[in-house]
Chain A
């Protein structure tokens, strides 16, 4: 079986499209998206009333874009970088800027609409193939997106389940240990351990299983993130520290699955053996429009060839 795993696309249209196409491109039997699928930012485009829209995305000065191809290209660029473009009138902008709740509510709506669009796109592109596509949310994904994924008949929802892949079983948990950002799916190490342990008990043969755990194991080298000051500013000099999960590490050490698929820490690209388990974090460079992933040929003897790819 050839599997492809990517994670942390964070709303990037182009990265999601690449993920959906990865099965055909790499001749993979199973493609797995490991979590943190949704975007982080709304970018407003304010209608100036004369056919032009003002934007302040990724440039030193506010820029005007004319309705039509120019504006659409700008919106496409924003989507490819992982953000949600949203057209508003001046009055709507004023209203949104005055209400935190309105902003949050709009963000939720756009996020869900985008997820629905992505699910439809995946269904369309995969309909004539036998490629299995599994999507499991991560700590940054709001709980509401689960229903959108579950509703699909073509995409398999991975979170909190053990999926039979033939000779292998796939266990998925997108919850993580606490982060400085108070994200939707994080909990204490004790709770996380209980969640994963509960799932691991359903696995029939851990030795051939694949554990898709969004948080990387603590001190695995796959969990090195920039050290932050209290104001979330990076410490100068590029100092990093391990921020992975002790619960994930404990589970890996206890059950020794064949493969551990992780994400969460975008800078933590790499592979690390913990006992007999090959743990992988392909990292993420979604903002560069690059889909980082992991490609492997696995069989009942274990992992054959494997590559960390930059697709």
Chain B
């Protein structure tokens, strides 16, 4: 026997209303807000996602202010966090966009949007890892350790893996790692992840301290020394700026709102995974469940924005905005003119804060630990969505088969791995595909917007269940808060979509970007229609029945 809520327990007579909870299976306590917060903020991976955004913003939006853009993205994301808090507190056993959308809007809407966001975008994210493996994580490590130890083999190896085949093989290593991690028991996965996050968290703190103590002159001297000793480039700092100017780039732009606003779309890329990690809730929807969820999700959002905003500030103030925008512009727009031996990801640039191998390794760990352990999450999410779709028979049951020996969704993982291998090849062997990376935040952001839209309509689509839910208690006048927060996030996403569609650097407004961005949703819809028609013809049970509500009266 147990009691819940703030009321008294038996033995302490009180006339206040109480709840009597008997012994029954499933009566568990949700994980503590502190546990959840710690897990979510660490799982959000702001360092490696930040590295991608910080490679784009300086050259694409010179004059854009990263901390301001991050703040705006955080405020927009806050409304998404509010909406997800309501949904997750009210449907604690639902677990994910696909089911939220299916229940409230129907599978014909849920399937295409979650197919784009969680099948295509997740596989794309996994495929991106070969490039990250070599250019952002191991390449800089071998370069800088090679320089510190004057070891030519390490330098040569760094150069070797920063080739198309190196990217591809690195990507396959990551795909294999993700496959293994999806296949091991979840308890083991969680334990390994916890340790990586712990080490990564400490290393991130160390990296921030090192950069805070570093001056721009000191960092410039380190870069020049490294480049001079190992690559014979004198005054690399000024050379980068000079080469970019000579090639037609103007890095001397002061702060501009016009450049800051589109940067919000890139900052959103760093923050968006905050919504994913709230996890399973307790079954008994007691007082404060919405607040607890909000603290978990928004806490993760604020933390990620804080970390990314801090590093955004540090990279500009320590590396210099002229250098940063020139280096990234040369890398993306005139790669033959850059003197740098490797992509100017902020992992590489941050590690240059010291030429001491131990400090280099510590800063590297800040990137490596989060990147290495956060990536299997993409595999987990991708396979879960495929499983859910398969259970609904929206795709063949083959995808949902769980291997009885390994106890894993082997087929779903293989399908994800196959798709990710295709994206890995595109990232490794083409030049036109990598700039489409920001389509990831478009695909996932649109799916979030659909979920928020579903949340906004919930009070009107299913008023009885809404009123009875924890979300139904939050009203401003006669307007449900979830309707307001949901619609504000939809408006925020429309604001971002405007930039996605009009700013070439955000990767969506060319033909390949449009095909990837909108084509993924259209493909998802076609798959849904085709399979639905097939089942209707071949089988006696109609797919439409899956989410039809049985009338209770």
Contact = CB atoms under 8 A, between A and B. Distances in A.
Contacts, number: 266
Given A22-B550, A237-B39, A290 B103 contact: yes
A305 B166 CA distance: 47
A183 B7 CA distance: 25
A289 B468 contact: yes
A283 B24 CA distance: 16
A93 B14 contact: yes
B21 interface: yes
B28 A58 contact: no
A21 B18 CA distance: 33
B285 A94 contact: no
B461 interface: no
Nearest to B462: A289
A59 B287 contact: yes
Interface in A52-104: 54-60, 62, 73, 77, 80-81, 83, 90-91, 93-100, 103-104
A129 to B, nearest CB: 15
A160 interface: no
A44 B43 CA distance: 40
A207 interface: no
A26 B4 CA distance: 38
B465 A103 contact: no
B20 A236 contact: no
Interface in B23-67: 23-32, 35-36, 38-39, 43
Interface in A197-214: none
B258 interface: no
A239 B186 contact: yes
Find the residue from A90, A239, A308 having the highest chain B CB count within 10 A: A239
A267 interface: yes
Interface string B179-215: 0000001110110011000000000000000000000
A25 B15 contact: no
Contacts of B91: 285, 288
Find the residue from A57, A73, A107 having the highest chain B CB count within 10 A: A57
Contacts of B94: 285, 288
B336 interface: no
A266 B93 contact: yes
B338 to A, nearest CB: 41
A10 B27 CA distance: 12
Interface stretch (A147-155, A162-170, A254-262, A270-278): A270-278
A233 B29 contact: yes
A272 B280 CA distance: 23
A17 B16 contact: no
Contacts of A97: 7-15, 18
Interface in A257-311: 264, 266-267, 269-274, 283-285, 287-291, 295-297, 304-311
A200 B9 CA distance: 45
A80 to B, nearest CB: 6
Contacts of B185: 241
Interface residues of B, number: 92
Interface string B371-412: 000000000000000010001110001001110100101000
A235 interface: yes
B546 interface: yes
Contacts of A42: 19-20
A220 B27 CA distance: 22
A55 B31 CA distance: 26
B540 interface: yes
A310 B28 CA distance: 24
B103 A62 contact: no
Nearest to A17: B552
Given A59-B287, A183-B24, A305 B387 contact: no
B23 A56 contact: no
Interface string B495-522: 0000000000000000000000000000
A99 B443 CA distance: 56
B256 to A, nearest CB: 42
User: A interface, how many residues as a size bin?
Assistant: 35 or more
Contacts of B477: none
Nearest to A103: B20
B432 interface: no
A179 B25 contact: yes
A77 B400 contact: no
A106 B94 CA distance: 32
B193 A237 contact: yes
B90 interface: yes
A62 B17 contact: yes
B468 A182 contact: no
Contact of A311 (B39, B391, B543, B549): B549
A54 B18 CA distance: 10
Contact of B287 (A56, A269, A296): A56
Nearest to A309: B546
Contact of A270 (B288, B400, B550): B400
Contact of B541 (A25, A55, A83, A305): A305
A100 B10 contact: yes
B6 interface: yes
B15 A94 contact: yes
Nearest to B1: A100
B546 A56 contact: no
B284 A41 contact: yes
Contact of B19 (A43, A180, A182): A43
Contact of B553 (A17, A179, A227): A17
A225 B8 CA distance: 30
B10 to A, nearest CB: 5
Nearest to B393: A307
A288 B90 contact: yes
A58 B539 contact: no
A132 interface: no
A228 B402 CA distance: 24
Contacts of A106: 20
A40 B28 contact: no
A18 B25 contact: no
A117 interface: no
B23 A291 contact: no
By Cβ-Cβ distance, the 10 closest A-B pairs, closest first, are A236-B35, A77-B468, A90-B15, A17-B552, A305-B541, A221-B402, A239-B190, A311-B550, A42-B20, A18-B550
Given A41-B22, A272-B404, 8 more contacts: A44-B20, A46-B16, A96-B18, A103-B10, A183-B24, A236-B39, A274-B404, A287-B92
28 contacts: A41-B4, A41-B19, A42-B20, A46-B16, A56-B17, A73-B467, A97-B8, A97-B18, A100-B11, A103-B20, A140-B24, A183-B23, A219-B407, A221-B407, A236-B32, A237-B279, A239-B186, A239-B189, A242-B407, A283-B93, A287-B92, A288-B92, A304-B539, A307-B393, A307-B541, A309-B545, A310-B99, A310-B546
Interface of A: 10, 14, 17-18, 21-22, 25-26, 36, 40-46, 54-60, 62, 73, 77, 80-81, 83, 90-91, 93-100, 103-104, 106-107, 139-140, 176, 179-183, 219-221, 224, 226-228, 231-242, 264, 266-267, 269-274, 283-285, 287-291, 295-297, 304-311
